[in-house]
C-alpha cells in the first residue's frame, strides 16, 4: 500500500491509496455531511450530500465515493459546495413527508439533522411527495413508510450485503423510483427475515419496527393483569445509549429499576431462559452425537445448528428449507420464557395464566414475528404477548418521565430472574457457543472447559465465521463414546455468513458438529432492535460490556444456575423430557423462496 498526500481545507493529509476523500477528511477532523454513506456498507454515492470541490474539476465530487489522489486539493466548505449541499437537502425535503412532530425517528433522524443544520426553507421548492403513499404494516416486525424514504438504498445494501437476503430492491426509475420488494409484495409475504438490520441502517423513519408499547402500557394500567417482563442480555449494555450514557455502558441495575417504576409486576431475566436453552440444547447435541456415533442413526442431522435467532430461523425456512433438520428444536430463550411464564411461573405464584401478560424486551425485530408465530402457544395462551425492542423500552422510560441516571440499581425479581455469565454472553456472537461448550464439556468430562477463566476466546470477536475444536478426553462413563472425539464448532453472524455456512452444509461438506448462527452482525448486541446508529466500533463496545457482565457474575455456567437446577427438580424433571418437549421445543416450516 502506498501513501499519498493531499490537502483538505488547507490541511495536509497523508493516507493510504484507495481511501476516499471522506476517509481523508476524517483523518484531519474535517466533518463532511453524509446520508447514503454507512460504514457497514459499500459505497453508493447517490445522495450527493457529501459533495466537495476538487481543484481542477468542473463538477463537484462525492467525497464518499471518490478516491483520494496524490496531490489533490480539496475544499469542503466553499460557496459552491454549500449552495449545492443546501439545494440537495432542500430537494430531499421537497419529496419528503415532513412530519417530524409525529415521527418515531424524530431527534434520531439524519435527514432532520441535515435539514436543521442547513436551515432548509421548506418553501424553496414545491412538494413532489407522492400522494396516497400507504404504510406497509403487513409484517409483525417491520413497518415501511415510503413517504419518509430518501432513497439512499442503505436498506437495500444492508439486506444484500450484510444479510444476503435481497428482500428489498429498487423498483421503477426517475420520479417513480422507490424501494420495493419482489413483485412489490407486502413485507409479510416477501422473503424478509425480519432481522431489522435495514431498520437500524435506515437514516430516517421510512423503516421502523412495529411498535407495541401502547399494548404494554395498557396491560400495566389494567389492575387485573399481572405483567411480567423479561429483558434480553444485550439490552442492558445498549439501552444506556438512548438515555445519555456512552456506548458500552452497563446499566443493568438502573434498567431493572426503571421497569419496576413503569409499573411492571415482575422484572425477570431472559438470561435465565438462555441458561435453560443451553442445558436443553447441550443435551440435544449430545443426544444427536450419541445417535449418530453409537446407534449409527442416519436420520440424525449433524451439524446441529442453533435456533435462538428468529431472523436466522426464518432465513433457513425460506432459503434452505430442505435442511431444517439441522436446526436445534429448542425454542429461543424468549419463547421458552414465555411458555414458562404462563405455566411454571403462574403455578409457583398462584396466578391464573390468563391474567398474565408476558412481555419481552429484545434487541431484535424478528422476535416480534416469532412471538406471533401461530404455534407459539404451548402454554395454552400466547406464550409472549408482546415483543419490544430496546428502542421501544427507551421510549417508554422517557414517556414515564424517569430520570434514568438518577435511578438506584436493583435486582431482578424472582422466580426466573436469576442468571449466569453464560446466559449474559448469549448477547454477543459466539456467546451461545461459548456457553454451550462450558456446559457440554463439563457434562461429558466432569471438568471445566480447558480455557483460561472459562473464556473461550477463539469463538469471540467480530470475524464473520469463527471456528474452534475441543478434544474430548477422559470422558465420564456415560459419555465414553465421545472419548477422543474432537468436537468441531463454528460460529457465524450476519446472514451472509450464515449462507456461507449453509452452502457447506447443503453440499454435505460441513466439517462441524455444532454451529451457532446469529442473524445480526455481532449477534444480538448488533440486533435490529438496538439503538441507532450502529457500526463496528459500537458493536465491539457493546460486546466488551457483555463480557464484563460475564466476568462479574458469581456463576458462569448455565447448568450451575440455582434456578435452573430448581426448575428441573420441581417442574421439568429432566432435559429433553416430556415437559420440555411440550413447552420448550418447536418445529419449523418451509417458506417461499422469493
Partner 1 sequence: MGYKGLKKVDIIFDCANCEPLEVLKKALAMTPDQIIEQIISSGLRGRGGAGFPTGLKWKLAKAEKSDVKYVICNADEGEPGTFKDREILDVVPSKVLVGMAICAYAIGAKEGFVYLRNEYNFLLKDLNPLIEKFNKNIQNLGLDFTIKMFSGSGAYICGEESALFESMEGKRGEPRNKPPYPTKIGYNGKPTVINNVETLVYCTMIIRIGVEPFKKLGTSDSRGSKVFSISGDTTKAGIYELELGIGVDEFVKEFGNGDTKAVQIGGASGFCVPRKDFKNKIIGFEGVPTGGSMMIFNSSRSMYNVLKDYLEFFAEESCGQCTPCRVGTQQLLKGIEAIKRGEKPSSYLNQLLKLTETMKVASKCGLGQSVQNSFSSIVNNFREEMIY
Which of 86, 254, 367, 466 is flagged as catalytic? 367
Is 124 a binding residue for partner 1 by CB under 8 A? The answer is: yes
* Partner from partner 1, ligand SF4, ligand FES, none contacting 531, C-beta within 5 to 8 A by type: none
Q: With CA atoms as reference, report the closest residue to 122 among 104, 147, 97, 101.
A: 97
Among 8, 21, 30, 62, binds partner 1 (CB under 8 A): 62
Residue pair 321/327 in contact by the 8 Å Cβ criterion: no
Residue pair 364/524 in contact by the 8 Å Cβ criterion: yes
Region near partner 1 per CB under 8 A, out of 80-88, 355-363, 557-565, 569-577: 80-88
Spatial distance between the Cα atoms of 333 and 342, rounded to a whole number of angstroms: 14
471 included as an active-site residue = no
Q: With CA atoms as reference, report the closest residue to 373 among 314, 298, 301.
A: 314
**With CB under 6 A, what is the number of residues at the site for ligand FES?**
13
281 included as an active-site residue = yes
367 included as an active-site residue = yes
Which of 308, 330, 475, 520 is flagged as catalytic? 308
Spatial distance between the Cα atoms of 191 and 202, rounded to a whole number of angstroms: 19
Spatial distance between the Cα atoms of 339 and 379, rounded to a whole number of angstroms: 5
Query: What does the H/E/C string look like for 249-308?
Result: CCCHHHHHHHHHHHCCCEEEEHHHHHHHHHHHHHHHHHHHHHHHHCCCCCCCCCCEECCC
Residue closer to partner 1 by CB (options 101, 119) is: 119
Residue closer to ligand FES by CB (options 49, 229) is: 49
Q: How many CA atoms lie within 13 A of 397 on its CB side?
A: 26
Residue closer to ligand FES by CB (options 85, 314) is: 85
Residue closer to ligand SF4 by CB (options 318, 585) is: 318
CB neighbourhood size of 265 (10 A) = 17
* Partner from partner 1, ligand FES, ligand SF4, none contacting 37, C-beta within 5 to 8 A by type: ligand FES
Is 548 a binding residue for partner 1 by CB under 8 A? The answer is: no
According to DSSP H, which parts of 8-104 are helical?
21-27, 79-94
CA triple 339-343-349, angle to 5 deg? 130
Spatial distance between the Cα atoms of 528 and 363, rounded to a whole number of angstroms: 6
Is 25 a binding residue for ligand FES by CB under 6 A? The answer is: no
Q: Which element (helix H / strand E) includes 227?
A: strand 226-231
* Partner from partner 1, ligand FES, ligand SF4, none contacting 34, C-beta within 5 to 8 A by type: ligand FES
Which of 53, 143, 317, 370 is flagged as catalytic? 370
Among 79, 131, 174, 477, binds partner 1 (CB under 8 A): 174
541 included as an active-site residue = no
Contact set with ligand FES (CB under 6 A):
34-37, 45-50, 62, 64-65
As annotated, the active-site residues are 281, 284, 308, 328, 367, 370, 375, 524
Binding residues for partner 1 (CB under 8 A) = 43-49, 51, 58-60, 62, 65-67, 80, 83-84, 87-88, 91-92, 94-95, 124-126, 128, 150-151, 153, 169-170, 172-177
Amino acid at each position: 500500500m502506498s501513501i499519498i498526500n493531499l490537502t483538505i481545507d488547507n490541511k495536509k493529509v497523508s493516507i493510504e491509496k484507495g481511501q476516499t476523500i471522506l476517509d481523508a477528511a476524517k483523518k484531519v477532523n474535517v466533518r463532511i455531511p453524509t446520508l447514503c454513506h454507512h460504514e457497514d456498507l459499500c459505497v453508493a454515492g447517490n445522495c450527493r450530500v457529501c459533495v466537495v470541490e476538487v481543484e481542477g474539476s468542473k463538477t463537484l465530487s462525492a467525497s464518499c465515493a471518490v478516491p483520494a489522489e496524490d496531490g489533490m486539493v480539496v475544499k469542503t466548505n466553499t460557496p459552491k459546495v454549500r449552495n449545492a449541499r443546501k439545494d440537495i437537502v432542500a430537494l430531499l425535503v421537497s419529496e419528503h413527508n415532513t412530519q417530524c412532530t409525529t415521527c418515531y425517528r424524530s431527534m434520531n433522524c439524519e435527514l432532520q439533522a441535515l435539514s436543521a443544520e442547513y436551515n432548509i426553507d421548506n418553501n424553496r421548492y414545491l412538494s413532489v411527495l407522492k400522494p396516497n403513499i400507504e404504510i406497509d404494516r403487513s409484517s409483525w416486525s417491520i413497518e415501511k413508510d415510503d413517504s419518509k424514504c430518501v432513497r439512499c438504498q442503505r436498506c437495500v445494501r444492508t439486506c444484500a450485503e450484510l444479510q444476503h437476503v435481497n428482500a428489498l430492491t429498487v423498483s421503477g426509475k426517475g420520479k417513480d423510483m422507490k424501494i420495493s420488494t419482489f413483485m412489490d409484495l407486502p413485507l409479510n409475504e416477501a422473503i424478509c427475515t425480519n432481522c431489522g438490520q435495514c431498520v437500524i441502517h435506515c437514516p430516517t423513519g421510512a423503516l421502523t419496527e412495529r411498535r407495541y408499547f401502547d399494548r404494554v402500557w395498557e396491560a400495566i394500567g389494567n389492575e387485573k393483569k399481572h405483567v411480567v417482563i423479561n429483558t434480553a442480555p444485550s439490552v442492558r449494555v445498549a439501552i444506556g445509549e438512548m438515555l445519555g450514557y456512552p456506548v458500552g455502558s452497563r446499566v443493568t441495575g438502573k434498567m431493572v429499576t426503571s421497569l419496576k417504576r413503569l409499573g411492571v409486576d415482575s422484572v425477570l431475566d431472559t438470561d435465565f431462559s438462555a441458561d435453560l436453552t443451553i442445558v436443553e440444547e447441550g443435551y440435544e447435541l449430545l443426544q444427536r452425537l450419541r445417535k449418530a456415533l453409537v446407534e449409527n442413526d442416519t436420520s440424525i442431522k449433524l451439524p446441529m445448528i442453533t435456533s435462538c435467532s428468529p431472523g436466522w430461523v426464518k432465513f433457513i425456512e425460506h432459503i434452505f428449507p430442505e435442511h431444517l433438520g439441522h436446526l436445534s428444536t429448542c425454542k429461543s430463550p424468549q419463547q421458552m420464557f414465555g411458555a414458562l411464564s404462563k405455566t411454571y411461573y403462574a403455578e409457583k405464584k398462584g396466578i391464573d395464566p390468563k391474567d398474565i401478560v408476558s412481555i419481552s424486551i429484545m434487541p431484535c425485530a424478528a422476535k416480534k414475528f416469532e412471538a406471533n408465530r401461530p404455534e407459539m402457544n404451548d402454554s395454552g395462551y400466547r406464550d409472549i404477548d408482546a415483543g419490544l425492542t430496546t428502542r421501544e423500552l427507551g421510549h417508554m422510560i422517557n414517556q414515564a418521565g424517569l430520570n434514568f441516571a438518577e435511578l438506584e440499581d436493583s435486582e431482578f425479581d424472582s422466580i426466573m430472574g436469576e442468571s449466569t455469565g453464560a446466559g449474559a454472553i448469549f448477547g454477543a456472537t459466539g456467546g451461545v457457543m461459548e456457553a454451550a461448550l462450558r456446559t457440554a464439556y463439563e457434562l461429558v468430562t466432569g471438568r471445566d472447559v480447558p480455557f483460561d477463566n472459562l473464556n473461550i476466546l477463539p469463538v469471540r470477536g467480530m470475524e464473520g465465521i469463527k471456528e474452534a475444536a475441543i478434544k474430548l478426553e477422559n470422558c465420564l462413563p456415560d459419555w465414553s463414546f465421545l472419548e477422543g472425539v474432537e468436537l468441531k464448532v463454528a460460529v457465524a453472524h450476519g446472514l451472509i455468513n450464515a449462507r456461507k455456512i449453509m452452502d457447506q452444509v447443503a453440499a454435505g461438506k460441513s466439517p462441524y458438529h455444532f454451529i451457532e448462527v446469529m442473524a445480526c452482525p455481532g449477534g444480538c448486541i448488533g440486533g435490529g432492535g438496538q439503538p441507532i446508529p450502529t457500526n463496528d466500533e459500537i458493536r465491539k463496545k457493546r460486546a466488551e460490556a457483555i463480557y464484563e457482565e460475564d466476568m462479574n457474575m458469581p456463576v458462569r455456567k448455565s447448568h450451575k444456575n440455582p434456578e435452573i437446577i430448581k426448575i428441573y427438580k420441581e417442574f421439568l424433571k429432566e432435559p429433553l423430557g416430556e415437559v420440555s418437549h411440550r413447552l420448550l421445543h418447536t418445529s419449523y416450516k418451509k417458506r417461499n423462496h422469493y
